[in-house]
Structure 1
Amino acid sequence: MTTLGSRAAKPAAAPATVRTLPPAGHRRPGNILTLFMLACLVYFLLPLFWLVMAATKSNSGLFNSFGLWFGHDFDLFTNLHDVLTYNDGVYVRWLLNTLMYATVSAVGASLIAAMGGYAFAKYRFPGRNAMFAIVLGSIMVPQTVLAIPTYLLFSKIGLVNTPLAVILPSLVSPFGLYLMRVYAEGAVPDSLIEAARIDGAGPFRIFRQVAFRLLAPGIVTVLLFTLVSTWNNYFLPLIMLNNPRWYPVTVGLAQWQGQASGGSGAQALFSLVITGALLSIIPLIAAFLLLQRYWQGALGLGAVKG
């Protein structure tokens, strides 16, 4: 009895742990995704790395050395000096023109998109859905299709070969308007708008003092998109401008490239074109680094709402 009692008093053995394997389609997706992201990283950074390496070479070094490494001579500072002083420093003026076009267009387009997106998201008015459908349809229209009609229109009112010929078309951003509507639907609560109306605030005051602060991340996102689009725009300034005094960097560098490959008698400007292209992307990199956290937050909310 004592033996049986002592045996009965012993605790039951713990059940063995059963390990379940994940389904075959879900095993280790991280390695494949990591390799894919590394391939994308190399794909996007390799041209930038080549640009940095090429900017350190002379015209002869561009053709006599390996493209993805330094040449025999380090001519970066010489190239920088030549770019900034060539033809009485016209590159500096092109860079300032580009900065003006991109800044004014980005600020204006982001404000217009914010006001339009807020109105579409928070107000009910006749034709609202039809107008927004037109906005969505205009996103699919390539900008090059509108370049010639825009030129004919601006030539009638005398704006060709002026900065307004580049700035005014860039103020219209259908994608920015769509993005701001999606963002405003989730970022601006209806209860907050009703509370402001009860306090006696009008529509413009509500937008200026209440909605604008909540829409700030989305506005920064549209600003960045428009800034990059206007900074890299080539076809519209090429059509609208015929005076080198108003050229942006894109058209100016293309002009230098044409001179460099113009055949016999043309001055070799390949190193100037490459170094000028490297200088032109530095402001964009700085803008993305400074405004990155606002951009990522706005895209995250837009993805959830979409």
Structure 2
Amino acid sequence: MVLVLVTLGAIAQAGSASSNDSQQQGTAQSQNAPANENAAPQATPAPVGQTNASEGDKEVKQSGDKIEQFADTALASLLTGIDFVDAHEGFFLVVFTALLAVFTYMLRSSTDKLWKAGDDQMKLIEANAAQQSIDMQASTKAALDAVAVTKEIGRAQVQAYLSCASASFGVEDRLFRCWAVIKNNGQSPAFSVLVKAKLSVMVENEGWRDNPEIGISRRIDSQLSEGGGMTIPAGGEESVQILWLHSSMETEAYDKIAKTTANFTIHCRVEWRTVFHREDHNVFFLNEAVGDFIPVLKGGFNRAGAMSVYNRGHR
């Protein structure tokens, strides 16, 4: 940069010197002009062509002298500038270092701003992408949930639904029988239908009058019994038989059921497999129907009758 400045200064100085030479030459010619205009001519003027050629040669020579003088002046100025720079090398080194530091700082500042703008843009893009991903996931989940709900509605409309339509019982000395009519109210068949049941009866506690704290009665349950295993088509029904042996519950409870008109309850759970390969079930209770039983029989069943049905659904 310093060399450029010195060179420009030398060129300007050479141009100024050339201008001064031209002015001086013009002044000399004016001084050499004849002082007396009325003086008689000394000689006959030369032809016009020779005069113009002589003047042209002079101008070419003068131009060459000017160029040579300009080059000498520029070279001298350049050498002077170089000598000046060499003489003040430390100063120019300090100035150059300062300018380099300023330029470096400005470059770094611009780079930092550019990097920060790019980083902010990337963060904005990432935030937008993340939000779009969240929105897309939410939309996808909502769509999947809607599809799942639609599937469940479809399954609920066409799947099998079993309940107990009616029931009856019969008691012998050593055997208790129950017949439960299971009906399929759904629109598809029910497979592997199985009824699990437990017989229970309330028995009076001995000595409750003397000791009221023990309570008037207690409930005695039989062992769990099962019956079924068939397939019930849509709209069809099947009678499922469930058996209890005398040994499946306490003698006192069994005798009360077989030999008296005491009320009893059968807790039932019917299970099946749907066409969608899903397990399903329903819960219902059977109670003795008052007035439909035969208290005493001397042959065959000791007691028999119809039962009231209470379907409770999924429990």
**Same fold, judged at TM 0.5 (above):** no
Structure with greater Cα Rg: 2
More strand by share: 2
TM range (shorter): under 0.3
TM superposition score normalised by structure 1: 0.22
More helix by share: 1
Report which structure shows greater RCO (CA 8 Å, sep ≥6): 1
